[in-house]
Structure 1
């Protein structure tokens, strides 16, 4: 029965009208069938728990009893007891997602009563009853839309189907039992089905409120926040749901704006993971470039290097024969390298890797007794590449230095020997790009 109900709801999705996409994403997140199954396995049991102790509205009818005539009967305090999920399925259609579940061990309790009065006699009786449901299928189809940068969830169809009811009445007069069952079984069935469907719609409304309350920006630090507004309606396929997110970094003291940016040829980083993963994430180059521009504008793309693997190179004594003038002016003094970006780093996405080019000024500083003296400045162009992957529950990456070129901008210590300078700079950048270092 789950399959039949799922088919009906899927047909509803297939013949619904879908809205065209409204823009291009900077971040694309795709929930695969595995992800949908995970969400279903998480939400369906919780939804079943909410059905426990569900109250059904009272039912009142006038039942015709042979010889006696019309008898007023009432089924009241109808309460759904324990519910167990036997099986569940989730599938995506063209405009939404369908979830269907088969419930087992469904039982209800209720109270019953009747009354009859005439000019000759007045009679009444009451008792309780237990109801065992032999099989119940529940299904709901839900759509998602983008509303002002947030997700709007709505129910398109919701249904509940009960197979057979086994009603056992207790107390009162047994002659009344069969008449009550004949008169009330279908009404109890429809009332319970409607109550369950309404409860599911109520749960979907709560989920909609949760989605609508998701933040539109994620605070990173005092400089940057990520704009996570949705910019298009979700796109549904037969086995996945795709979300488009703005994804650009913005100043953290500003509210995330609505993005109207359209890019014809966006380059997305290759998705992380394989087809068996629950979530795929693709990033546009502009995500990286937006954050680099923010940190550059804030003056944070700079770093003082005072430690390198070959620490002796950061002392003027190491340069006494190569740069005699440096040693004569500052004998046996420690040095620092002040590395600062002169423009925002440029990020390019290629197959299997991310390439970054950074233009830097490296100022050589000699540490005096009570001051710091800049003695030379070199202009560098540095190219690095990296890639990211998923390892277990962790996102891991690797960054490599590809090359760097440099020119001497100015010097108070004479000419520099380029080969030796390359050695110390390569050593410095190895530390600079290491996991424990503070990268740009």
Structure 2
């Protein structure tokens, strides 16, 4: 139960804020959680925390009470169970040293068994049940979030609970004992509730910190690449947002050069790189173009940026006999294959309006001669494309356009090719077949990652200073 209680606090602590501080390792991804997002996480944390807390057993309470004319009565409360908690008001505020969460006006219902015994000439005992109603309960806690060698460390700075009003209703037993039990046990019940809740919160924070320490320095994307999620610089919490910077660069799987983040103090003014304006959003995510270029480099070096095009209607020499007559003359009515591969990592640039990419491609044209592929020409091309991401129905989608491309002949076994004649035909194929096919694939989208059943929602994109800025809300994803 302690593991899940206040687990959603991770929503408040796993989102990030960019700062202008100096460190040995740079950061390229930053995320700001704004006031709207902080309140969203707070409400979720309180809701999930209450559901995980109930039912909650308090320790048994014992006391000895002297009652006039009766003597010493030994009283016991057992099976004390917290069955219901309602919160009327809560608030969270990023402070100078951490996050402050305050719950006020809370009420709680408890049930318990009571019993007594006293000794005169005979041993006399009795027992029954009781219900306890707690009103105007207040809970407050302050936590700090620090960067400890590249991992986030969560520490409970302070925690307190105050039960202002307590009402006990007895069932069973001797009526003359009622007031004695109320007098003897009210302060003990009050204290037990306060101490138990504080201890429970302390255990939860410790377990959450242990969970944070298990977060790896790199997250696997696929069997080729992973992303370095080492924390860089100290997290920043102010009156408006909270967050942290991470390295964010892609790396080849198997690489072990993820450095520990070394943080130095800085007196520079803290300023968020993410500005979302109005309408207010829960979070802002900033991704530098170097993240995209690091992915480009990793996948290029892995040798996965190549593909083969075959079994297409236009890939037969009969369709090229007027454009490349020597090809048709040497290989009449022969099927063709295009072997396309990137000759260098694509260079990605984030402009003020889109994400642009320059892709250098080497296209080898092969002809099937008696079933065997024979290279006949190699053409060097550079494509420039622009794209824009979008989010719809819990999936990230996108579209691209072809801006321009160039072609140069590298080698040929069928004589000199007139590139000026070939290029328009290739452009028609690209614009009418290639780009629409890519956009069809992008329109299907990829499912967005979720956390505890929540994912980003109603996101909008902007491009500022070589960074992609995504301003977003969160919402619950219904299970199908």
Task: Name the TM tier (shorter chain).
Answer: 0.7 to 0.9
Aligned-residue offset at 1:315: 2.8
SS at match of 1:188: helix
Instruction: Tell me what 1:54 maps to.
Output: 56
**Measured at CA, do residues 256 and 98 of structure 1 come closer, stay the same or move farther in structure 2, by a change above 3 Å?**
farther
Q: Structure 1 248/428 Cα, relative in aligned 2: closer, same or farther at 3 Å?
A: farther
Contact 1:227 1:256 in 2 (8 A): no
For the structure 1 residues 162 and 69, does the alpha-carbon distance in structure 2 shift closer, same or farther, using more than 3 Å as the test? same
- Cα deviation, 1:27-62, whole Å, max 9, x if unaligned, reads 212333333333333332222123323222333444
Note the C-alpha offset of 1:192: 0.9
2:289 to 249, 273, 285: 285
- Cα 1:335–1:427 change in 2 (3 A) is farther
Pair 1:182 & 2:183 matched: yes
Kindly state the Cα deviation for residue 189 of structure 1 after the two structures are TM-superposed: 0.9
Conserved? CA contact 1:269–1:350, under 8 Å:
no
1:24–1:261: 8 Å Cα contact kept in structure 2? Answer: no
> 2:96: which partner in 1?
94
Unaligned 5+ residue runs, structure 1?
1-17, 263-267
Instruction: Quote the offset at 1:327 in angstroms.
Output: 2.1
Asked if the contact 1:222–1:252 (Cα under 8 Å) also holds between the matched residues in 2, the reply is yes
Structure 1 window deviating more from structure 2 (57-66 vs 286-295): it is 57-66
SS at match of 1:383: strand
Task: Write the deviation string for residues 203-260 of structure 1: whole angstroms up to 9, x where unpaired.
Answer: 3333333333334433233221222233333322323322322222222234572255
Question: Is this contact kept in 2: 1:348–1:354, CA < 8 A?
Answer: yes
- For 2:453, the equivalent position in structure 1 comes to none
Distance 1:362 1:285, change over 3 A: same
- Which is further off, 209-218 or 331-340? 209-218
What residue is the counterpart of 1:370 in the other structure?
371
**Alignment TM-score, normalising by the size of structure 2:** 0.75
The number of aligned residues is 411
TM-superposed CA distance for 1:142, in Å, is: 2.3
Q: Which residue of 2 aligns with 1:360?
A: 361
CA contact (8 A) 1:305 1:336 kept: yes
Alignment of 1:30-429 (within 5 A): 30-66=32-68, 72-102=74-104, 106-114=108-116, 124-128=124-128, 129-255=130-256, 257-258=258-259, 276-306=280-310, 311-312=313-314, 314-429=315-430
TM-score (norm 1): 0.81
SS in 2 for 1:359: strand
Query: Which whole-Å CA distance do the structure 2 matches of 1:135 and 1:273 have between them?
Result: 38
Checking the alignment, whether the CA contact within 8 Å between 2:90 and 2:101 is kept in structure 1 is yes
Structure 1 partner of 2:469: none
> After superposition, what is the alpha-carbon deviation per residue over 1:153-197, rounded to whole angstroms, capped at 9, x for unaligned?
222222222221112234444334324323332222122111112
The 8 Å contact of residues 106 and 134 in structure 1, kept in 2 or not, is answered as: yes
Alignment check: 8 A CA contact 1:296 1:343 kept: yes
